[in-house]
Amino acid sequence: MRAGVGLVLGGAMSVQFGSAVAALLFPRAGAAGVVTLRLLIAAVLLLVVCRPRLRGHSRGDWAVAAGFGIALAGMNTLFYQAIDRIPLGPAVTLEVLGPLTLSVVAARRRASWLWAGLALAGVALLGYQGFDRLDPAGAAFALGAGVMWAGYIVFSARAGQRFPKADGLALAMGAAALLSLPLGARPHLLEPVTLGLGTVVALMSSVLPYTLELRALRRLPTSTFAVLMSLGPALAVLAGWTVLGQRLSALELVAVALVIAASVGAVRTSQPTPRPGSRPARSPETRPALLPD
């Protein structure tokens, strides 16, 4: 159990610190350029490792893979635009409202609306000093990334049903990389320093966390996994502070804590009540809701 928890937290920290490293690369390559570099490298690695089959898929399968790729490209592009304008902690806090809303709607339970209200209270506190301090565009990009994150969850589940292993993810990552090229392709992306840091970002934000998460899911129930993933905003605050020197006020930290509490509550509420004698579901090939790529 402890090993599984450590793997989840290690993967989550890798994602958030990868985002912090990406922010350091923005002055050199721009937010769009970093997205393109990250998606291209991650796509190449996944396609080489997974070697997905290209024949024998229906139009519906390819439509799901395309939708998955659009969600991936949109989520990453909007999120990187957000952290180019506002601190990492608030950006992740606003972004997590997307999957949180999806959990509340999917649960269809009265208790879910309590968690929704708690999340709204956190957002209200976050904007208490004025979203102009955060930059309205940055906040809007973070909320947009949350919407795309919700789409990612839906298409990820459908891809898992239609494609074996991680083939759907590999194909979707390839599609996302192609979609990002017109926005971020620049000659200086191939400079050694930029390419090296881009590889670090791809490894920390995609390859390493995905590997750790798959191993964790073999040791933990998915409900426990999802609750631990709800700590993303707190880890983002830590990464923003240690890597980027971003400090939040006490009120903003309380706002982040409220959104985390709402996410944990919503995840627990959305879990089906286990039948007597049943075992917790564990699957190495599915990814819970509160989990971005």
3-state SS of 90-148 is: HHHHHHCHHHHHHHHHHHCCHHHHHHHHHHHHHHHHHCCCCHHHHCHHHHHHHHHHHHH
Token pair 């707190």: residue: 234
Q: What is the pLDDT of residues 28-65, one digit of tens each?
A: 899 999 999 999 999 999 899 889 999 889 999 999 99
Considering only the C-alpha atoms of the chain, give the largest distance between any 2 of them, rounded to a whole number of Å.
60
CA atoms within 13 A on the CB side of 109: 15
Q: What is the pLDDT of residues 70-84, one digit of tens each?
A: 999 999 999 999 999
**d(C-alpha 174, C-alpha 41), whole Å:** 10
Q: What are the phi and psi torsion angles at 163 (to 5°)? A: -120, 145
At 274 the pLDDT is 52
Residue 247's CB is within 10 A of a number of other CB atoms, namely 12
Residue 283's CB is within 10 A of a number of other CB atoms, namely 12
**d(C-alpha 118, C-alpha 210), whole Å:** 30
**d(C-alpha 226, C-alpha 12), whole Å:** 11
**d(C-alpha 37, C-alpha 32), whole Å:** 9
- pLDDT > 90 fraction of the chain, expressed in percent and rounded: 36
Structural tokens at position 43: 């796509």
Q: What does each C-alpha distance from 135 to 52, 219, 247 come to in angstroms?
A: 41, 41, 16
**d(C-alpha 38, C-alpha 93), whole Å:** 22
Q: What does each C-alpha distance from 140 to 2, 82, 222, 259, 261 come to in angstroms?
A: 38, 8, 31, 17, 22
Confidence category of residue 240, pLDDT binned at 50, 70, 90? very high
Classify residue 31 as left (phi > 0), alpha (psi -120 to 50) or beta: alpha
Query: Has residue 282 got a pLDDT over 50?
Result: no
**d(C-alpha 37, C-alpha 89), whole Å:** 23
Query: Has residue 289 got a pLDDT over 90?
Result: no
Q: Are 155 and 105 in contact (CB under 8 A)?
A: no
At 251 the pLDDT is 84
Residue 278's CB is within 10 A of a number of other CB atoms, namely 9
Q: Give me Rg for the CA atoms of the chain.
A: 18
Q: Which residues contact 154 (CB under 8 A, 6 or more apart)?
A: 71, 102
Residue 66's CB is within 10 A of a number of other CB atoms, namely 16
As a whole number, mean pLDDT of residues 170-186 equals 91
Residues in the chain: 293
Q: What is the pLDDT of residues 133-153, one digit of tens each?
A: 678 899 999 999 999 988 988
Helix axes 136-162 and 97-107, enclosed angle (nearest 10):
50
Confidence category of residue 164, pLDDT binned at 50, 70, 90? confident
